Structure 1
Amino acid sequence: MNRNIFIVLLIVFNIAVDQITKVIVRANIEIREVIELIGDKFILTNVYNKGAFLGMGSDMNPTLRTIFLLILPTIVLAYVIYYIIKTKELDRLSLIAFCCIIGGGVANVFDRIVFGKVTDFFFIDLGGIFKTGIFNVADISVTAGMIMLLLSGIFNKKKEERQETA
């Protein structure tokens, strides 16, 4: 498959899955309603987040919020798209990681443009072992992308070390 088509399809897939889940949540779950999927360990709810990750920046004045949560992310996302299209030597895992990060980022920026806030709906609480804030599929995409980038860096460094010693 053509590399650029792969990039576009993966980004669009991430955006589509996120937006479809948000449409379903907004249509079927009332604001602050709690639906227990696995007891109180995995919950669906419907909250709006005017800020960024875990609501950070939601209390900023509207001008700063527009700059830091809409304009700057859009510029960064545009640059990352440019970077992955121009950098042909990226390994497959890094390319997928960047596409997930872009897709998740674009999906949340889209929410901020259209709704003025982001729809979040997943919550996990594993009783002291692991507890999240309320998040959405775009957040999962961005987080998975960051983890893949980290792993790619580790794998590539080990690969380079092995080549140097050979």
Structure 2
Amino acid sequence: MKLSRTASIILLIVANIAIDQISKFIVRAKIAQYEVIELIGEAFILTKVENEGAFLGMGSDLSPLLKWALLLILPVIVLGGVIYYILTNKSLDRLSLIAFCCIVGGGIANVFDRFMYGSVTDFFHIDLGGVFRTGIFNLADMSVSFGMILLVIASFQQRKLEKANA
């Protein structure tokens, strides 16, 4: 049985949200705030942080009204626009469609956290001896980042295809 395009889009978005929310549920239940659990030595750890801001805590010192506007209302409008775009633009290639579904799923998952809990639960941290180091992030952040990388790849593929057809 082949799923319709719309059903596939919804399934991908919901899967991204579900995986993120399940992971956060487990982290909230099992890991104390700022507790450090080494997964691969000090290179890859779990540590629970409640992020009241945006990326890497930016905006956490904003007034409650600005937080609502910039971290809840604006993302909901943007996510709604992206959902409308992917549902109505039938010419999107498969890779771009998957990319947008990852971005939307991760975005919705983090907006859900902000709405329900007032913060986003982050818990992964990578530190490869100072050569590569991340902030503390979650699966929704990974989904958005993966989606952005896929969009860049899809863009290069599309340009290559257009040059070949020209």
TM range (shorter): over 0.9
The number of aligned residues is: 164
Deviation of residue 100 (structure 1)?
0.3
Superposed, which structure 2 residues align to 1:1-166 within 5 Å?
1-164=3-166
d(CA) in 1 for partners of 2:106, 2:75: 11
Ranges in structure 1 where 5+ consecutive residues have no aligned partner: none
Percent of aligned pairs sharing the same letter: 63
DSSP 3-state at the match of 1:128: coil
TM-score of the two chains, using structure 1 as the length reference: 0.98
d(CA) in 2 for partners of 1:128, 1:40: 11
* Deviation >2 Å, runs of 4+: none
DSSP 3-state at the match of 2:15: helix
Deviation of residue 6 (structure 1)?
0.1
Letter in 2 for 1:5: A
Aligned-residue RMSD, C-alpha: 0.5
DSSP 3-state at the match of 1:37: strand
DSSP 3-state at the match of 2:16: helix
d(CA) in 2 for partners of 1:133, 1:69: 19
Ranges in structure 2 where 5+ consecutive residues have no aligned partner: none
d(CA) in 2 for partners of 1:38, 1:99: 30
Deviation of residue 163 (structure 1)?
1.1
Deviation of residue 58 (structure 1)?
0.6
Deviation of residue 49 (structure 1)?
0.2
TM-score of the two chains, using structure 2 as the length reference: 0.98
Letter in 1 for 2:5: R
